[in-house]
Structure 1
Amino acid sequence: MIGLRLRSLFFNVGWYVGTTILAIAGSPILLMPRRFVVAWSLVWIDFCLWWLRITCRLTHRVGGLENMPTGPVIFACKHQSSWETLAFSRLFPGAATVMKRELVLIPIVGWAMARAGNIAVERGDGAKALRGLVKQAKATLAEGRSILIFPEGTRVAVGDEKPYQVGTAALYRQLGVPVVPVALNSGLFWGRRKFIKWPGVIDVEILPAIPPGLGRDVFMATLRERIEGATDRLVAAARERERK
């Protein structure tokens, strides 16, 4: 356990130091076109994932690549860990992530999130927030880009449950594009609000797309069943590997 704590400490220190250096050195890029901001952000993400692998021996693999779409879609992803906020920009290049607006207030890093073309939404703003979400999402699709949303709206620990939020259903109804569910088991290795990062391999699985045109209740039930069923399977498989 001491070794795990030290490795996690090394990761955190390197993460903060590396992020600070890259943020300061790259801040002039915020004045450049979006493609340069995105490229700079990917350098930061690659550093973080590399440092995570070196210090904590934590890597990932992606299954279901045959389900990766060729055109713009809505990726609806399970959210268990901070890991997704690092890795998904690399796994789903070009996609605009739906995030809470307060994140864009973080100096340099938050500004880069906004300049990279992500979708910021004001939490607790009801119908107004939904209208803003749909408006930004339509503009994103018009650019030929996909949208990435976490249906639960926040990180949820392994084994816990949280209702799926209405934003995903609103996008599905208004945009008329397929929704691609994504399952994972990252919370086993980097838990919500946990200091220790456990070594291992995070599994991400891209599931078959849900076509447009379903009723809201049927869509939400189908989405939840697919994501939660696949997530439970990935979690169980990882635990079985650990027992061996």
Structure 2
Amino acid sequence: MTNPVRWLLSLLFIAQMYLAMLVLAVVYLVPALVSRSGAWAGVHAYCRWVRFTARILVGLRSEIRGEVPQGEVLIASKHQSFFDIILICSAVPRPKFIMKKELKWAPLLGWYALRIGCIPVDRGKKGRAIAEMKRAVAEGAKIPGQLIIYPQGTRVAPGATLPYKVGTGIIYAQMNRPCVPAATNVGVFWPRHGILRKPGLAVVEFLPAIAPGRSISEFMAEIEAVIEPASDRLMQEAGFVAAG
């Protein structure tokens, strides 16, 4: 049975998290209009706030492990919940994402996403979506930063499996930059759905970079081979036991 106090604290945490998003978006609006650095400052301030209040209100501590990417790189990350986005954005200096095209119409959030160089793509028919993604990535390269993509394309709950999509390999080949894989266990504490947030230590771990120049098939096999075991290790460290 869920502890009602923990459930109420989780609800309070979620409510203030979205309120803080609105408040900080307004506070940093002028700096963001003046320069992209102001937009990134707002993003970093928000991520620090979410990490701080997660620790205070629900006992969810967070940690970044590994060498934080600094230059022009692709980051291919395991995605389990909104919190891994928060952790990665709090750590890297100029984060930008491959994101769903619909998000660019979200009030304030969509504008900030475009301002920091996020790349909206249409999840339509596969061939057209890949062609549009390649064009959008080429256009987005004009804004330097760390491009973050989720190879499985969506949030994946702990213990669930989902194939890695070839789009990540296509972007890796197109960018001709190193790729830093990233593992996480955040889904153990912050689920895809529901209100309850659990106490513990949520981790995003940056793994050794993969140099450019691999074939797409080799690259796809390698990122899955390093991200999945590393994420399993972090989840086991957090006390997660897979069903069966």
Give the TM-score of the pair, scaled to structure 2: 0.89
Deviation, 1:62, is 1.9
Q: Deviations over 1:66-93 (max 9, x none)?
A: xx45531111000001102222211122
Q: Deviations over 1:202-239 (max 9, x none)?
A: 12211112222222222211111110011111111111
Residue aligning to 1:170: 170
Residue aligning to 1:51: 53
Deviation, 1:185, is 0.3
Residue aligning to 1:231: 231
Residue aligning to 2:86: 86
Deviates more, 1:37-46 or 1:22-31: 22-31
SS at match of 1:204: strand
Residue aligning to 1:31: 33
Question: Contact 1:96 / 1:140 at 8 angstroms: preserved in 2?
Answer: no
Q: Among the aligned pairs, what percent are the same residue? A: 34
SS at match of 2:52: helix
User: Residues of 1 paired with 2:62 and 2:237: CA distance?
Assistant: 14
Change (3 A) 1:10 1:166: same
Q: What value does the CA root-mean-square deviation take over the aligned residues?
A: 2.1
**AA of the residue aligned to 1:53:** R
Q: How does 1:47-126 map to 2 (within 5 A)?
A: 47-65=49-67, 68-69=68-69, 71-126=71-126
Q: Deviations over 1:115-158 (max 9, x none)?
A: 12111111124333323322333444455422111101110000
Residue aligning to 2:127: 127
Question: Higher helix proportion, which one?
Answer: 1
The answer as to 2:204 corresponding to 1:204 is yes
How many residues are treated as equivalent by the alignment?
239
Deviates more, 1:158-167 or 1:129-138: 129-138
Deviation, 1:25, is 4.2
User: Residues of 2 paired with 1:188 and 1:41: CA distance?
Assistant: 24
**AA of the residue aligned to 2:56:** I
Question: Contact 2:51 / 2:62 at 8 angstroms: preserved in 1?
Answer: no
SS at match of 1:239: coil
Deviates more, 1:165-174 or 1:119-128: 119-128
Question: Contact 1:27 / 1:108 at 8 angstroms: preserved in 2?
Answer: no
- Where structure 2 has 5 or more consecutive residues not aligned to the other structure, the ranges are none
Change (3 A) 1:169 1:197: same
SS at match of 1:209: coil
Deviates more, 1:88-97 or 1:193-202: 88-97
The answer as to 2:155 corresponding to 1:155 is yes
SS at match of 1:159: coil
Change (3 A) 1:158 1:29: same
User: Residues of 2 paired with 1:46 and 1:12: CA distance?
Assistant: 15
Question: Contact 1:184 / 1:234 at 8 angstroms: preserved in 2?
Answer: yes
